[in-house]
Amino acid sequence: MTALAALIRRDIRVALRIGGGALIGVLFFLTVVVLMPFAVGPDLALLKRLGPAILWLGALLASLLTLDRLFMADHDDGSLDLLVMSRTPLELACATKALAHWLVAGLPLIVATPVLGLLLNLDGSATLAVALTLLAGTPALTLTGMIGAALAVTLHRGGLLLAVLVLPLSIPVLIFGVAASNAATSGDTPFGTPFTILCALSLASLVIGPFAAAASLRHGLD
Amino acid sequence: MKNPAMRLSGRDVRCVRGGREIFTDLSFSVQSGEALAVTGPNGAGKTSLLRVIAGLLALAGGTIDLEGGTGELTTAEQAHYLGHRDALKPALSVGENLAFWRDFLGGAPDHKQNALTAVGLDHIAHLPAAFLSAGQRRRLSMARLLAVRRPVWLLDEPTSALDAAGQSVFARLMQDHLENGGLIVAATHAPLGITTHDLWMGAQP
């Protein structure tokens, strides 16, 4: 437990200090959403209808943007070798790194959602629904993204490869996230069904993600 | 604290990286209180050998055994690996870097200050690691070996970038480790300042 607590403390500290890039994701999210009303035009009804989808797309792209930091820095400075060699199971270390990453990169997106909802003419309950679906869905984005990050680091290709690997895995999350938010805003379809599936996706990726990432790291080191 | 007698041995070890055979039929043996200096020209596979022992590279053939260690732990879990890269985060201070590895690898709380003092970095514990020179980074990596006890030390060019004083400090630390029953495998081009057995890799000189 001490080991995992130390790992989470270190990752959060590194991310929050200068050059750590914790705020890059949320700034990108802000940029995408702020630009959207200018691109779509001042049609309030249209913005309201598109709002949840825009917020979800922004959050998805923002989480992709920060994911390649997950293992790349540790690989470059040699820390990854020591993580692999340590007595702490690598699966647990991966899950811990994902948690730390979600806390500094995923949680700020959810906190920023109410502010951005105003720009998209979403009322209080709709904003709350989007924030709730992001809270349930972003862990899935981080955990499936971690598999891509582990593969990218062992293949020595960052950036674009990560996006290509991770996007197909995040499509179900996007579909059910937007479906649940729309259900909450329009009210003609039940909110529970897509939201439960979204939660299930997060739980399934919590089980699969750390194991897949650890396997990839173990076999790909050289 | 004395380690029990241990023996690290490899038989007919073969290593393949990227489809190219680096070395084959390599055998070695080193026991508690002994240091093995792995020497040879650049590209002979010294680093690869250390990484194979550390479990960071797959063994393509042969066996590597650690006798007398803690039964349920793998060789890697009982070893320290000091590689070319220092495993330091520039954004964290010297003390925080060391404290992290101490906590993550399971060292005793009081070892941090002693380790920093031993390598001569206690006066800059608050400084971000980004401001350290190459030699100071090396010293901080050495402190990790002291903050957490492991019987096997795998050292890759341990004395590179160290000044004369640093090298003698490190030689003394290695000597202490050997006297406590530890064992060392070091890839090196320069003399380490301790008594070693030599393992030559590559073509015979």
Q: Is B89's CB within 8 Å of A87's CB?
A: no
With a cut of 80, say whether residue A127 has pLDDT above it.
yes
- Total length of chain A: 222
The domain limits of chain B are 7-91+150-200
- Sheet of strand B7-17, all strands in order from the earlier edge strand to the far edge: B20-31, B7-17, B61-67
Mean pLDDT over A138-146 rounds to 93
Pairing type for strands B35-39 and B20-31 reads unpaired
Contact B55 A19 (CB under 8 A): no
Question: Of A16, A34, A22, which is closest to residue A66 (Cα–Cα)?
Answer: A22
B55/A14 Cβ within 8 A: no
Q: Given B55, B86, B103, which is nearest A2 (Cβ)?
A: B103
| pLDDT reported for residue A98 | 94
| Smallest CA–CA distance from A219 into chain B, residue | B58
**Nearest CA distance, B152 vs chain A (angstrom):** 13
Q: Compute the nearest-CA separation of A82 from chain B (Å).
A: 7
Q: Decide if B96 and A222 are in contact by the 8 Å CB cutoff.
A: no
- Distance between alpha carbon B51 and the CA centroid of its chain, in Å? 10
**Contact between chains at A14 and B89 (C-beta distance less than 8 A):** yes
Average pLDDT of the segment spanning A15-25: 79
Structure tokens at B113: 């200050």
Low-confidence stretches of chain B (pLDDT < 70) are 1-4, 203-205
Residue-wise pLDDT for A99-115, tens only, equals: 999 999 899 999 999 98
pLDDT at A50: 87
Interchain CB distance below 8 Å, A19 and B103: no
Distances in whole angstroms, Cα of residue A138 to Cα of each of A37, A50, A55, A56, A219? 24, 19, 12, 10, 27
Contact B87 A18 (CB under 8 A): no
Angle formed by the axes of helices B94-105 and B111-118, nearest 10°: 130
Q: What is the pLDDT of residues A69-126, one digit of tens each?
A: 788 888 888 899 999 998 899 999 999 999 999 999 899 999 999 988 888 888 888 8
Q: Which DSSP helix (H) or strand (E) runs through A130?
A: helix A124-154
Question: Which pTM was predicted?
Answer: 0.90
Which of A7, A17, A82 has the CB atom closest to B81's CB atom? A82
Q: Is A84 within 8 Å of B55 when comparing Cβ atoms?
A: yes
- Report the pLDDT value the prediction gives residue B159, as an integer from 0 to 100: 84
Give CA A9 to chain center in angstroms: 19
| ipTM of the modeled complex | 0.89
Q: How far is A141 from chain B (nearest CA, A)?
A: 26
DSSP B201: -
* pLDDT of the residue at A121: 84
As a whole number, mean pLDDT of residues A138-151 equals: 92
Q: Does residue A142 have a pLDDT over 90?
A: yes
> Cα dist. B79→A43, A152, B27 in Å?
64, 28, 19
**In this prediction, what percent of chain A has a pLDDT beyond 70?**
97
Helix (H, G, I), strand (E, B) or coil at B19: coil
Residue A20 has pLDDT above 70, yes or no: no
Question: C-alpha distances in angstroms, B168 versus A89, B115, B156, B161, B188?
Answer: 36, 16, 17, 13, 15
- Whether chain A has a CB inside 8 Å of the CB on B44: the answer is no
Q: How many CB atoms lie within 10 A of CB A126?
A: 21
From the list B56, B44, B49, the residue with the least C-alpha distance to B30 is: B49
**DSSP code of residue B73:** S
B7-91+150-200, CATH topology level: Rossmann fold (3.40.50)
Is A1 touching B (CB cutoff 8 A)? no
pLDDT, tens digit (0-9, with 9 covering 90-100), for B22-41: 888 888 889 888 899 998 88
Structural contact between residues B4 and B52, judged by C-beta atoms closer than 8 angstroms? no
Give me the residue spans of the domains in chain A: 2-220
